[in-house]
A and B are shown apart, each in its own frame.
Chain A
Amino acid sequence: MIDSILLVDDEDLFHLVFEDACSLLDMTLSLEALNSSDEADKLFKQWFEEGPIDERPECVFVDLNIIGSSFDGIELIRKINNDYGNGVVIGIISSSDDNQEIEKAKAVGAQFWIIKSDEIEPRLEDFLNDYSGYEKKTAPFKVYK
């Protein structure tokens, strides 16, 4: 089980879907969802500069295109990995399967890419099976289709 998860996605309905899917799969007991990359950026900056660092989530799922935000999911991952001390399992959860975007995400340190679909649970289950590898940074980048 993952200690805590943060979801950054502009779609409220997906927050509910993700929360229920996580609960049914016993993925975590603590799930927080944010609507914009700016909010997430602010939180990570605060945790990095002022602490406490252990308040940071263990795993972060970021949407690729977050409407109403100043920057996209890839930029948020870059910021978290380069500017705010890294240390979290982080990746993209998006309906897009654009190879160029996937490569960009990989380049900034995303560890996984989950494609959103009606059947999200099997993908999350596969992700959960690989999770220890992501935690130890030994698992290679993977796209969950």
Chain B
Amino acid sequence: MINGKDTVEEALRKAKAKKVYLEGNFVKLLAKSLPTDVKAYTEECKERDTKARKKRLEVNKRVQSQNKELEEAAVVKEALVLELQNALDDAEKLRDEAVEDLDLMQKRTQFELIGLIVRVALIIIVGVGVTTTLLYTTAMLADKDTTILGNAWSNLFGILLTNSFSIIGTIMGVKYATEKNG
């Protein structure tokens, strides 16, 4: 142990014997005019301190450089996340637009189909009506028996009228429901 009454030289000798090496700038403060054995010890301390500092400096520089790289990577990551979020938002927007387009297309197809059905139904109704009426008129003008034809005409006309109203009603209903949902 180093006691308070020990001189600097004695203290240094004790430290040397215990292989305790001084560190830091304190070593630089020690006088150069020390006895040879103590001077050799302080020189060794300086050498060891320089080595340790060099090593620590390299390690700290490496850590500093890695920290910098990590900070840069974090910035890049943040930018990528933002870019991905924007891309996701765009994709969702496009999907919504596509769904809307598809819905509109389906509605248009439905309307086109309804139009076709209406046209065909009207052609059949008008065609059958005209044909039956012509037959009935011809039979009446030719003074032929019109009992069966008359009944058939009135029945057919009644059925056709009823059906045509039924078709129109269905079409109006479908159209109303579609407009309300759309």
Contact = CB atoms under 8 A, between A and B. Distances in A.
A24 B29 CA distance: 15
Interface in A16-53: 16-17, 20-21, 23-24, 26, 29-30
Which of B24, B28, B53, B61: most chain A CB closer than 10 A?
B61
Interface stretch (B62-70, B82-90, B169-177): B62-70
A24 B53 contact: yes
A16 B54 contact: no
B177 to A, nearest CB: 65
Contacts of B65: 118
Given A23-B53, A24-B50, A24-B54, A16 B60 contact: yes
Contacts of B63: 13
B56 A26 contact: no
Interface residues of B, number: 16
Nearest to B50: A24
A31 to B, nearest CB: 8
B67 A13 contact: yes
Q: Is the interface of A mostly helix, strand, loop or mixed?
A: helix
A9 B95 CA distance: 51
B64 A13 contact: yes
B25 interface: yes
Interface residues of A, number: 12
Given A23-B25, A29-B25, A29-B28, A17 B53 contact: no
Contacts of A17: 57, 60-61, 64
Contacts of B67: 13
A114 to B, nearest CB: 15
Nearest to B59: A16
A69 to B, nearest CB: 19
Nearest to A28: B25
Contacts of A20: 53-54, 56-57, 60
Nearest to A17: B60
A17 B63 CA distance: 10
Given A13-B63, A118-B65, A24 B57 contact: yes
Contacts of B56: 16, 20
A20 B64 CA distance: 14
A124 to B, nearest CB: 12
Which of B49, B50, B60: most chain A CB closer than 10 A?
B60
19 contacts: A13-B63, A13-B64, A13-B67, A16-B60, A17-B61, A17-B64, A20-B57, A20-B60, A21-B57, A23-B25, A23-B49, A23-B53, A24-B50, A24-B53, A24-B54, A24-B57, A29-B25, A118-B64, A118-B65
Given A13-B67, A17-B61, A118-B64, 17 more contacts: A13-B60, A13-B64, A14-B64, A17-B57, A17-B60, A20-B56, A20-B60, A21-B57, A23-B24, A23-B25, A23-B53, A24-B50, A24-B53, A24-B57, A26-B28, A29-B28, A118-B61
